[in-house]
């Protein structure tokens, strides 16, 4: 892969009015047949294609995207990356991803601005603190950095936070993962697109998959808004739209698509240099490199595909942020938006074969899949290439909903992240 | 230097001078000024420094569209960042600061780096700062420090906010000429009308064009008449200083009203809000939000002293401020001419650069008459100046194509304005899915008057692309006629003459970016000022294949600022279209999202802060608990006494004392928060059989039973004791936190699946207050106050209940025990809560009765191995995992909720994690709740985890630590000597623990049966 | 109300406390005047009976009617006022009867007697509820800060269950103000929220004729 | 932010008065014990989650506390109507019969 993004190239292009830059990714015409087709050019889909090409030597790959690449949840998340999950299966998967994040900028030659500024998950009740303790201990035994802090220790690290005992949900402590942080969401999509394209992957934007051609329980091809494409392997990575794709394949998924909203403040001078999340008050906040506070709200309880949610959810989140940081009351919201998240009953993803041969699903990341982007792509590529799960995603089958072997991460996943 | 002129129609009151400071300097303005107009009047040109390159910036606009003049208002707890100077009303004593420029506005260090702006095009950071990887945090720190405008307050906000809900027939957004007319026509028809406008004064752009005659009277008289009539209508409400910032499904509009920010501190009232968020549910909405003039894009177009043509004329006409003495106005259309004429009339030297070769003959005559020089067929390729504009370099434009055919003259000036046409304010229209249409004749994204009539949304005036006032008033009239007809009402426009004396409009030139004659390599031409996005950045994005307009936006940050691209977006779309070789409608717009203009978090939160952030529910005994000095623990919404420390006691001392007192004599707990549901009907037993895992067919009247409730996945979701009051009447109790959920659960199953079962349920949680009298002396205490029944061991047995009188109050007493002690739960009408508690305390005095809280309750129940749902369960635990097969009636005929799931292959495994008791080897070590259990003390991750500690306490009664927790195969291991040792791991330490039975005290039940 | 015969000692003087007792409203009350826009106070210690039954079932309805000597409101969101109190429709099979506290037992008994054998439920909930009256020229403004319900739709004779801040209550017109009926444990929040909402209009504790 | 007309209160009310109750007409198997693990898992967890028209349960939580059925388009939030469970069942069955 060519690694031509560097300070030197930038300087030399600067002298030439930047007219020598070439497309970050190619936009080829769609071909009539591919070895593997990935549906959905979100971060996960693009990462899958990248690792398929890079690690499994498959070259004839297309990624089909109904809109613009990276325009789904990848474009609208609050970019929190962490791996402090409770159960071994989840923790190992997210930790695998976190490790990939740590080398991603270099690997794909694109600065994804992965910023390990640490993440605090606040505890406000005795039970929160028990859960934090349980999770931190599990993390440590799994080799994941995490620590439990008391309220004063939280205050020492985040001087702005209100730890007064008089609040409705006094802060009793937190779990803290130092290696966790945030990344630049768009750069992740663009960087993977560029890297995959460099390996020969065709990324086809404005190409919607409308039907699946399945014969004798084997995928044969896809009907798209740009015509029919034949293929024997399809990886479906369509996040909020996974149920729609599943329907096209004649299967049902344990998914509900809900609106999840977020908002940003106006740009401010640096004031918060870490990430703060609280399930009890329902809000989480970090400050981006550009200066705006990036704030995540909760999901709306109803299902929706409209990419917008109800205002009372945003209002509640603003109140939650003020509860934690009373000085932010005069800070103003600049823009709010919503995404469509595919939630599962156990707050864990599905990375699985299906009963249709050659059709694989990677979905159910719900409110928290951005952090998994490289790891998810990596294990999903393995699953598709080998028709067998990677050991790290073996537990995340569709079948667990029948056997009852759920991996309940509601506590660690919280409202959203 | 003062640029103030005594303009006859100006809205400022020159008799009311006000003093204010900006960036440390003191200035004078007048009532009616905005901070921006006052600064301009004082000749202040540079008000900010640009985001990326540190370039000096001045005021461009006159309202919500302003991208540059972001200021910090006030100090201390009231300091507010990033307000637009164009929207800040001046008051006496206002303190404003800059939000950019370090060390000063005059010299910004960033501008040094800005000299190398050629190396910092859009998205440069994605290509660099990568090497070496470990220096990224250092690079990032520099980036962060360079970023950001104003400063967040660091003190808690001292002002307050609230929400108000409105339900109206019609909401009119915008109080310009067309909005006022719409409100009046609707108001006359009797509709309940709400009119909101974001400015302090109604009139909209009319305030900037005071000389136009409407129906023969001047604009200010015209609007004053309408406003007067509106104010006389009781069905019309007007909210000024109120911005509608979001439109949601089914016409729910959020609007924020500024109530005090415009007032001098001394007259602000503590009882009044700073801001109020109005939530307006409107059957119909009329959007009369007007339009913003967009500037043309040209070299150095960001120099201070460059503004939009309408801002220039607004400052003149509305505020009496001449922004210069020598003005150059570039335009592609007719709209700038009136302002130019007004300036000339005010004695300012005006030059017009019209990009059209053919100019409106009427205006040609008029400009000639006023001595305005017009360059037709020219554009400005570059503004000249360093800290302020000093002149304009003209180019001759091709007559068909937007190319520079020749260099034009240089025109000196001290203010430069441009007009590229109007961009309708379509934001609200688009928030919930509406889409504007490109109108190629009007060169604008417009919405049609009845574009969303089926949703009840109508549009009037400039938002529809109708830019001439007379036409706009006519379209308002017609649209309102249609709207009212749809409601069966007729329009009444009597006395309204809607003709104006405007000069009729001729076509505009289609131009957005004036060519520089240097292949675009000339001076930087900015599209988005706030984010330093130049035309070249858009071209670069396209070159690099960021071709979707959404990619262009995200790659360049076009429209990402606090102005959300009000001036820049359409220019950006047009330049992108050119670079892509597409038409503007093919490129489309980016998504419009709330907020139209920024809204404070405080306003969003409203009254949901402090004491009223979330409800706190208290029991009827709260006053007493406070008197006894309780510390409280939130349990769901409830506040429960946690422990009752005596002076000098910490939690441990208090809990030890409470535990011992209870086990040895008598203690008392407020158990009122438990959910209580009264269930009646002939099918109540069957209903309970289906809802609970246990069987209820045989429970005798007068008896109670513990029940386990499972969800359909077979996991324990709640528990509690349920009493049989009669064959058709049961009283269920639930956990404190689970009460509402259980009530809904019961109703849902009854209403949806089993409507045939004759049962009704009613929550009586709040009706009963419960004092649990616990301990060996509890019978004696109760006996002192309850004399109407025989309390003896055999007359009133364990798990019986009785209706009695306690301390003269009717009571229902349950002989049940969550502590393993002899215990009575005394339930009375909650009105007697405080009374009964005190009477029992008095009666128990001789036994040193001790009130205790949830912490002691937890210790006592753990000594008995009783679970707490939510602490010892986590939604993944079956009754079998809890070793509670005894509470599962597998033989019941109906497949009770959750039963089938218990037989799934995973849930029926026998080697699942099971609840066991745990005894630390060292009795003085209290395990950490949440400690993980492992097989060996040898830690090299990853270590296999067997389960975890759910409950752990020091038991004062046993004189040692005890715990409960889950262990894989725990029940088997418990009984295997040699296999019953595990390690509890927490805080970096492994503690040796023995697996034992979870019943630590009185396994035979002698105490509770006493 | 109290079965005093079971107690021979005179030291027992059961004292009832209303849910808003901790706010000490009685001591703060004033005669309603023009100085403030909103006036409120608690009507403490009424009797509340929850009644459930099928309004489609004629036997049920007539049994209730005869027991109370009044027509049970079966129209959605309707209520009925009687000399002794009122009956609020809560749902097609649920009502809340309010009365003087000392009438509660006799109402309950006569209802239970009349409804014997008919599928229904009669529950004393008197300890579980309270009522606040809100009056004054800005009463409806204040309520519009607190509830999402459109009070313009709340004509006399109508009762609705709706939101109040983050909790819920029942509201209906009462004299020239509003009656708010809610659960005991909601009292602290609802009162604080009401006070906060009324602050800009001026808030007074009203002296109510019908309260004591 | 919906307005929902409660079929029991016969009045249009704000979304905040209601709570969402998931997909409607998910029938509990008649005899769970004889259902296969797959069928039971389907009943528990599998959802239609359609993009488009959705029959769903709502509860009027702060009002009459009744559950009822709403037909709503999840793509654009249009609501066709709200009915009591029994009424909705009839309409739903008729529509299903056509589909
Ligand atoms: C507001 C919000 C905040 C969040 N915050 C966080 C956070 O802080 N941390 C975190 O880890 N996660 C967070 N998430 C979740 C995270 O965004 C997602 O889990 C993750 O981005 C999913 O990535 P994806 O690539 O699977 O999906 P997407 O980026 O949504 O990609 C799916 C793609 O499939 C395309 N597609 C759909 N149907 C078709 C079709 N028929 N044909 C072709 N293409 C199709 C879509 O257009 C889309 O581009 C948040 C989500 C939201 C909405
Ligand atoms: N040259 C210009 O810049 C310009 C701009 C707008 C209108 N006009 C002219 O003014 C005349 C009257 O036009 P009009 O009535 O359509 O528009 P207008 O601009 O006069 O009035 C719109 C009003 O709505 C307010 N507003 C906009 N969005 C709002 C929101 N979200 N919440 C609250 N208030 C909001 C504006 O501040 C303004 O007061 C027409 O002749 C029109 O062409 C000229
Ligand atoms: C982490 C993050 C930061 C953002 N910061 C800004 C911002 O500073 N300004 C802005 O206008 N939008 C910002 N956005 C929101 C986007 O403009 C946009 O609303 C979002 O990507 C959803 O896309 P849509 O609104 O086009 O549907 C941000 C989005 C994310 C995910
Ligand atoms: Zn209802």
> Per residue in D40-92, pLDDT tens?
999 999 999 999 999 999 999 999 999 999 999 999 999 999 999 999 999 99
Report chain D residues whose CB lies below 8 A from the CB of C77: 9-11
Helix locations, B450-608, DSSP H: 469-486, 535-543, 549-556, 569-580, 584-587, 601-605
pLDDT bin (cut points 50, 70, 90) of residue A1 is low
Cβ of A103 within 8 Å of Cβ of B133? The answer is yes
Residue B612 has pLDDT above 50, yes or no: yes
Kind and range of the H or E run holding B913:
strand B913-920
Q: How many domains does chain D have?
A: 1
Nearest to B7 by CA among B323, B413, B221: B323
The reply to whether A24 touches chain D by the CB within 8 Å rule is no
Q: Which atom of ligand 3 is nearest to the CA of A307?
A: 27
Q: Please report the domains of chain B, with CATH numbers, ordered by start residue.
A: 13-114 (3.10.20.440), 161-291+424-486 (3.50.50.60), 609-897 (3.30.1360.120), 908-1010 (2.40.30.110)
Q: Indicate the CATH number of C34-44+130-205 among 3.20.20.70, 3.40.30.10, 3.30.9.80, 3.30.1360.120.
A: 3.30.1360.120
Q: What is the structure's pLDDT at B242? A: 98
- Where in chain C are all domains bearing CATH 3.30.1360.120? 34-44+130-205
**Alpha-carbon dihedral B452, A307, B537, A196, rounded to 10 degrees:** -140
B764 touching chain C per CB within 8 A? yes
CATH number of C47-124: 3.30.70.1520
Write down the pLDDT at residue A414.
Answer: 54
Protein residue closest via CA to atom 19 of ligand 3: A337
Looking only at the bridges linking them, the beta strands covering D3-6 and B729-734 are unpaired
CA B863, B868, B869: angle at the middle one, nearest 5? 160
3-state secondary structure at position A381: helix
Please state, rounded to an integer, the average pLDDT across all residues of chain A. 96
Q: How far is D76 from chain C (nearest CA, A)?
A: 23
pLDDT digits (tens, 9 = 90+) for C61-111: 999 999 999 999 999 999 999 999 999 999 999 999 999 999 999 999 999
Q: Which residue has the higher pLDDT, B115 or D28?
A: D28
Q: Is B161 on the interface with C (CB under 8 A)?
A: no
φ/ψ of B644, rounded to 5, equals -120, 85
Q: Rounded mean pLDDT of B509-527?
A: 95
Q: Is the CB of A268 under 6 A from ligand 3?
A: no
**Chain position carrying tokens 């003062």:** B2
CATH, residue D22 = 3.30.2270.10
Tokens read off for D39: 């069928």
pLDDT of residue B753: 96
Sorting pLDDT into bands at 50, 70 and 90, what band is B134? confident
Q: Are B732 and B677 in contact (CB under 8 A)?
A: yes
pLDDT band at C141 (very low <50, low <70, confident <90, very high): very high
- Report pLDDT for B132: 84
CA atoms of B369 and B349, how far apart (whole Å): 13
Percent of chain B with pLDDT over 70: 100
Provide the mean pLDDT of chain B. Answer: 96
* pLDDT higher than threshold 80 for residue C11: no
Domain parsing of chain A, residue ranges: 26-79+185-254+346-403, 116-179+256-343
Residues of C in contact with B766 (CB under 8 A): 125, 127-129, 183-185
Shortest alpha-carbon distance between residue D33 and chain B (Å): 6
Packed helices A185-198 and A88-108: angle between N→C axes, nearest 10 degrees: 70
CATH 3.30.70.1520 domain span(s) along chain C: 47-124
Distance between CA A311 and CA B279 in Å, rounded? 10
With CA atoms as reference, report the closest residue to B154 among B251, B44, B76, B42. B76
Q: Count the helices and strands in chain C (H runs, E runs).
A: 5, 11
What average pLDDT does this structure show over B799-804? 98
Q: What is the structure's pLDDT at B115? A: 85
pLDDT band (50, 70, 90) for residue B116: confident
User: Domain containing D9: what range?
Assistant: 3-98
| Ligand 1 atom with minimal separation from the A341 CA | 53
Query: Taken in order B301, B303, B306, B311, is the CA torsion positive or negative?
Result: positive
Per-residue pLDDT for A416 more than 50?
A: no
Say what the pLDDT of residue B808 is: 95
- Give percent of chain A with pLDDT exceeding 70: 98
Burial (CB count within 10 angstroms: exposed 0-12, middle 13-18, buried 19+), residue B42? buried
Chain C contact probe: residue of D6, D12, D60, D63 with most C CBs at under 10 A: D63
pLDDT confidence band for B131 (50 / 70 / 90) = confident
In the numeric block, which tokens belong to residue B35? Answer: 């901070």
Q: Which residues have a beta carbon within 5 Å of ligand 4, which is an ion?
A: D 6, 8-9, 60, 63-64
- Whether the CB of B805 is below 8 Å from some CB of chain C: the reply is yes
D73: exposed, middle or buried (Cβ count in 10 Å: 0-12, 13-18, 19+): middle
- Whether the predicted interface score ipTM is above 0.90: yes
DSSP H helix total and E strand total for chain D: 2, 6
- Cα distance from B902 to chain A (closest Cα, Å)? 9
Per residue in B579-600, pLDDT (tens digit) is 999 999 999 999 999 999 999 9
- Give the CATH number of domain A116-179+256-343; options: 3.30.9.10, 3.40.50.20, 3.40.605.10, 3.60.21.10: 3.30.9.10
Confidence of residue B133 (pLDDT cuts 50, 70, 90): confident
Q: Does the pLDDT of residue B6 top 80, yes or no?
A: no
| Residues of chain B above pLDDT 90, percent | 97
- pLDDT tens profile A369-405: 999 999 999 999 999 999 999 999 999 999 999 999 9
- Minimum CA–CA partner of C171 in chain D: D63
CA A22 – CA D43 distance, rounded (Å): 52
Span from the CA of A105 to the centroid of ligand 3 (angstroms): 22
Ligand nearest to the CA of B336: 2
Distances in Å between the Cα of B449 and the Cα atoms of B244, B496, C49 are: 19, 21, 55
Cα separation, D70 vs D59, in Å, equals 10
Q: What is the CATH number of domain A26-79+185-254+346-403?
A: 3.50.50.60
- Asked if residue C211 has pLDDT above 50, the reply is no
């Amino acid at each position: 892969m060519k690694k031509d993004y560097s300070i030197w190239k930038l300087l030399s292009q600067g002298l030439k009015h930047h007219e020598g830059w070439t497309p970050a990714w190619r936009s080829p015409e769609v071909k009539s047949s591919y070895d593997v087709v990935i549906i959905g050019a979100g971060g996960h889909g693009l990462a899958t294609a990248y690792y398929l090409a890079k690690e499994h030597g498959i070259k004839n790959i297309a990624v089909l995207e109904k809109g613009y690449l990276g325009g789904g949840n990848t474009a609208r998340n609050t970019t929190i990356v962490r791996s402090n999950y409770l159960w071994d299966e989840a923790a190992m998967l997210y930790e695998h991803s976190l490790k990939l994040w740590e080398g991603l900028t270099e690997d794909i030659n694109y600065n994804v601005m992965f910023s390990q500024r640490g993440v605090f998950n606040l505890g406000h009740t005795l039970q929160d603190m028990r859960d934090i303790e349980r999770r931190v201990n599990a993390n440590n035994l799994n080799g994941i950095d995490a620590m439990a802090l008391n309220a004063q220790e939280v205050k020492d690290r985040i001087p702005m936070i209100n730890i007064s005992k008089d609040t409705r949900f006094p802060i009793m402590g937190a779990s803290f993962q130092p290696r966790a942080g945030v990344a630049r969401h768009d750069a992740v999509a663009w960087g993977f697109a560029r890297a995959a394209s460099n390996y020969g992957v065709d990324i086809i934007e404005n190409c919607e998959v409308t039907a699946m051609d399945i014969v004798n329980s084997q995928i044969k091809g896809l009907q798209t808004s740009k015509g029919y494409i034949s293929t024997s392997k399809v990886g479906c990575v369509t996040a909020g739209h996974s149920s729609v794709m599943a329907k096209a394949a004649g299967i049902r998924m344990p998914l509900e698509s809900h609106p999840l909203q977020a908002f940003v403040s106006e740009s401010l001078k640096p004031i918060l240099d870490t990430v703060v999340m609280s399930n009890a008050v329902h809000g989480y906040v970090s400050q981006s490199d550009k200066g705006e506070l990036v704030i995540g709200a909760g999901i709306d309880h109803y299902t929706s595909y409209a990419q917008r949610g109800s205002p009372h959810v945003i209002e509640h989140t603003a109140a939650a942020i003020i509860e934690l940081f009373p000085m932010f009351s005069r800070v103003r919201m600049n823009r709010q938006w919503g995404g469509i998240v595919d939630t599962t009953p156990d707050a864990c993803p599905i990375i699985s074969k299906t009963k249709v041969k050659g059709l694989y699903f990677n979905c159910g990341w719900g409110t928290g899949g951005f952090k998994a982007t490289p790891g998810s792509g990596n294990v999903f590529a393995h699953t598709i290439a080998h028709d067998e799960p990677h050991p790290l995603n073996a537990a995340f089958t569709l079948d667990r909903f029948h056997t009852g072997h759920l991996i309940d991460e509601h506590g660690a996943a919280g409202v959203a992240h | 230097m003062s640029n103030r002129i005594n303009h006859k129609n100006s809205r400022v009151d020159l008799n009311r001078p006000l003093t204010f400071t900006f960036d440390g300097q003191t200035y004078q303005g007048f009532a009616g000024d905005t901070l921006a107009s006052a600064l301009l009047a004082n000749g202040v040109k540079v008000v900010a420094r640009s985001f990326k390159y540190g370039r000096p910036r001045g005021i461009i606009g006159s309202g919500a569209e302003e991208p540059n003049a972001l200021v910090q208002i006030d100090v201390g707890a009231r300091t507010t960042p990033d307000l637009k100077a164009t929207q800040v009303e001046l008051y006496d004593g206002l303190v404003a600061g800059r939000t950019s420029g370090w060390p000063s506005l005059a010299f910004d260090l960033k501008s040094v780096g800005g000299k190398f702006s050629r190396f910092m095009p859009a998205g440069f950071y994605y290509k660099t700062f990568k090497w070496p990887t470990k220096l990224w945090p250092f690079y990032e720190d520099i980036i962060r420090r360079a970023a950001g405008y104003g400063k967040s307050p660091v003190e808690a906000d001292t002002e307050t906010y609230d929400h108000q809900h409105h339900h109206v027939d019609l909401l009119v957004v915008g109080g310009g000429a067309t909005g006022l007319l719409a409100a009046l026509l609707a108001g006359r028809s009797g509709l309940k009308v709400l009119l909101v406008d974001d400015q302090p004064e109604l009139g909209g752009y009319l305030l900037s064009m005071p000389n136009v005659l409407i129906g023969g009277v001047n604009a200010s008289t015209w609007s004053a008449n309408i406003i007067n009539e509106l104010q006389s209508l009781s069905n019309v409400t007007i909210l000024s200083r109120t911005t509608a910032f979001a439109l949601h499904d089914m016409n729910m509009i959020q609007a924020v009203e500024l109530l005090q920010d415009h007032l001098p501190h001394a007259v602000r009232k503590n009882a009044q809000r700073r801001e109020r968020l109005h939530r307006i549910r409107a059957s119909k909405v009329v959007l009369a939000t007007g339009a913003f003039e967009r500037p043309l894009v040209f070299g150095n177009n960001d120099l201070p002293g460059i503004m939009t043509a309408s801002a220039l004329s607004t400052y003149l006409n509305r505020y009496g401020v001449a922004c210069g003495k020598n003005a150059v106005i570039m335009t592609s259309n007719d709209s700038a001419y009136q302002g130019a004429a007004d300036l000339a009339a005010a004695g300012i030297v005006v030059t017009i650069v019209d990009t059209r070769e053919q100019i409106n003959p009427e205006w040609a005559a008029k400009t000639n008459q006023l001595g305005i020089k017009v360059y037709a067929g020219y554009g400005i390729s570059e503004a000249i100046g360093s800290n302020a504009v000093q002149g304009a370099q003209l180019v001759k434009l091709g007559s068909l194509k937007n190319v520079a055919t020749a260099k034009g003259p240089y025109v000196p000036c001290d203010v430069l304005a441009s007009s590229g046409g109007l961009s309708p304010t379509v934001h609200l229209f688009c928030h919930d899915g509406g889409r504007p249409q490109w109108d190629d004749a009007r060169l604008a994204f417009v919405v049609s008057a009845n574009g969303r009539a089926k949703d009840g949304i109508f549009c009037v005036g400039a938002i529809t692309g109708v830019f001439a006032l007379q036409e706009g008033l006519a379209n308002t009239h017609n649209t309102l006629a249609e709207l009212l007809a749809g409601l069966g009402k007729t329009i009444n426009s009597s006395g309204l003459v809607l003709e104006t004396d405007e000069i009729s409009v001729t076509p505009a030139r289609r131009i957005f970016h004036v060519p520089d004659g240097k292949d675009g390599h000339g001076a930087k031409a900015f599209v988005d000022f706030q984010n330093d996005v130049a035309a070249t950045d858009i071209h670069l994005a396209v070159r690099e294949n960021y071709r979707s307009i959404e990619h262009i936006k995200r790659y360049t940050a076009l429209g990402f600022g606090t102005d959300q691209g009000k001036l820049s977006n359409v220019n950006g779309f047009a330049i992108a279209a050119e670079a892509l070789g597409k038409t503007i409608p093919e490129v489309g717009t980016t998504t419009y999202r709330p907020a139209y203009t920024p809204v404070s978090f405080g306003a969003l939160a409203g009254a949901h802060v402090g004491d009223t952030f979330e409800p706190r529910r208290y029991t009827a005994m709260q006053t007493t608990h406070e008197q006894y000095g309780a510390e409280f623990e939130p349990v769901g919404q409830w506040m429960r006494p946690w422990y009752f420390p005596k002076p000098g006691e910490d939690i441990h001392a208090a809990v030890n004392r409470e535990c011992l007192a209870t086990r040895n004599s008598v203690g008392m707990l407020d158990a009122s928060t438990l959910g209580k549901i009264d269930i009646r009907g002939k099918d109540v037993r069957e209903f309970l059989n289906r809802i609970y895992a246990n069987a209820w067919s045989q429970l005798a009247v007068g008896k109670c039973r513990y029940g386990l409730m499972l969800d359909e996945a077979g996991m324990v979701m709640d528990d509690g004791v349920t009493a049989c009051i009669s064959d058709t009447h049961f009283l269920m109790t639930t956990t404190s936190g689970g009460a509402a959920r259980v009530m809904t659960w019961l109703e849902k199953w009854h209403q949806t699946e089993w409507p045939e079962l004759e049962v009704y349920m009613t929550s009586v949680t709040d009706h009963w207050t419960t004092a649990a009298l616990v301990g060996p002396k509890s019978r004696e205490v109760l006996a002192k106050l309850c004399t109407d029944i025989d309390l003896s061991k055999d007359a009133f047995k364990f798990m019986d209940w009785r209706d009695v009188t306690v301390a003269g109050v009717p009571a229902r007493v349950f002989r049940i025990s969550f502590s393993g002690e002899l215990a009575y739960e005394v339930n009375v009408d909650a009105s007697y809560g405080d009374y009964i508690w005190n009477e029992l305390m008095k009666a128990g005095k001789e036994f040193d009765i001790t009130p205790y809280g949830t912490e002691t309750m937890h210790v006592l129940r753990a000594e008995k191995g009783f679970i707490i749902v939510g602490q010892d369960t986590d939604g993944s635990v079956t009754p079998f995992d809890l070793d509670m097969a005894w509470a599962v009636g597998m033989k019941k005929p109906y497949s009770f909720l959750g039963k089938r799931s218990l037989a799934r292959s995973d849930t029926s495994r026998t080697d699942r994690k099971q609840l066991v008791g745990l005894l630390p080897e060292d009795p003085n070590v209290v395990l950490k709740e949440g400690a993980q259990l492992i097989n060996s003390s040898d830690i090299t991750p990853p270590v296999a985890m067997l389960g975890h500690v759910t409950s752990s306490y020091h038991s004062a009664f046993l004189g040692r630590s005890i715990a409960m927790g889950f262990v894989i195969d725990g029940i088997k291991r418990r009984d295997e000597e040699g296999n019953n040792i595990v390690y509890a791991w927490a805080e970096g330490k492994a503690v040796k623990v023995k697996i034992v039975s979870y019943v630590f005290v009185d396994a035979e039940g002698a105490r509770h049966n006493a | 109300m109290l079965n005093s015969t079971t107690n021979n000692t005179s030291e027992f003087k059961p004292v009832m406390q209303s849910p808003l007792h901790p706010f000490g409203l009685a001591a703060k009350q004033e005669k309603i005047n023009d100085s403030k826009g909103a006036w409120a106070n608690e009507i403490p210690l009424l009797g509340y009976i929850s009644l459930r039954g099928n309004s489609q079932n004629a036997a049920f309805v007539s049994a209730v009617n005869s027991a109370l000597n009044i027509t049970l409101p079966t129209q959605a969101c309707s209520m009925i006022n009687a000399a002794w109190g009122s009956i609020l429709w809560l749902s097609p099979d649920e009502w809340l009867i309010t009365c003087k506290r000392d009438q509660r037992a006799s109402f309950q008994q006569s209802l239970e007697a009349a409804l014997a054998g008919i599928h229904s439920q009669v529950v004393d909930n008197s300890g579980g509820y309270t009522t606040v009256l809100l009056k004054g020229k800005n009463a409806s403004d204040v309520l519009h800060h607190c509830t999402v319900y459109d009070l313009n739709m709340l004509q006399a004779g109508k009762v609705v269950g709706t939101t109040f801040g983050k909790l819920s209550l029942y509201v209906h017109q009462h004299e020239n103000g509003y009656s708010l009926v809610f659960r005991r444990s909601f009292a602290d929040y609802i009162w604080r929220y009401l006070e906060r909402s009324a602050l800009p209009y001026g808030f007074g504790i009203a002296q109510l004729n019908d309260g004591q | 932010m919906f307005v929902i007309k409660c079929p029991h209160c016969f009045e249009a009310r704000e979304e905040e008065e209601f709570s969402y109750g998931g997909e409607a007409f998910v029938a509990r198997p008649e005899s769970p014990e004889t259902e296969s693990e797959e069928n039971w898992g389907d009943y528990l967890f599998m959802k239609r989650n359609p993009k488009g028209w959705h029959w769903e349960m709502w509860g009027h939580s702060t009002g009459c506390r009744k559950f009822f059925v709403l037909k709503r388009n999840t793509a654009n939030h249009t609501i066709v109507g709200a009915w009591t469970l029994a009424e909705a069942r009839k309409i739903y069955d008729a529509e299903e019969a056509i589909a």
